[in-house]
Amino acid sequence: MKIVARSILSLLALGAPMGCYVQAGSAVPETEAVVVADPPPPPPPIVEPVPAPPSAGVVWVTGYHRWDGSRYVWVHGRYERPPHARARYVPAHWEAHRHGRVWINGHWS
């Protein structure tokens, strides 16, 4: 599997071929991983025990398999404080885009 690092803008300017994907999300690095192959589906989630909350007002964010550009890596579940009262956590996932699929990290919306 060949990986080429490009910025998102240069990727779009070049018109990336179908079947490629890039990694994006809430903490987007300066370069994105472009792989000339369809990514495999993530493995089944690992069932983790949910500990008691450390304080009031926190929400349990379930663990997930994060794509690191060449394989999936397990990210453990954790408690987070929502950024505002009506915030909703969006789990990490793949999204279909015009030039392939994009990995979106979990984030608050």
pLDDT in tens, 32-83: 444 446 778 889 999 999 999 999 999 999 999 988 888 899 999 999 999 9
Bigger pLDDT: 36 or 91?
91
pLDDT at 99: 77
Domain parsing of the chain, residue ranges? 3-108
| pLDDT value of residue 61 | 94
Distance of CA 17 to the CA centre of its chain: 21
CA 28/CA 26 separation, integer angstroms: 6
Distance CA 83, CA 59 (A): 11
Residue 43: φ, ψ to 5°? -70, 170
How far is the C-alpha of 105 from the C-alpha of 62, rounded, in Å? 13
Higher pLDDT: 87 or 20? It is: 87
Identify the DSSP state of 71.
Answer: S
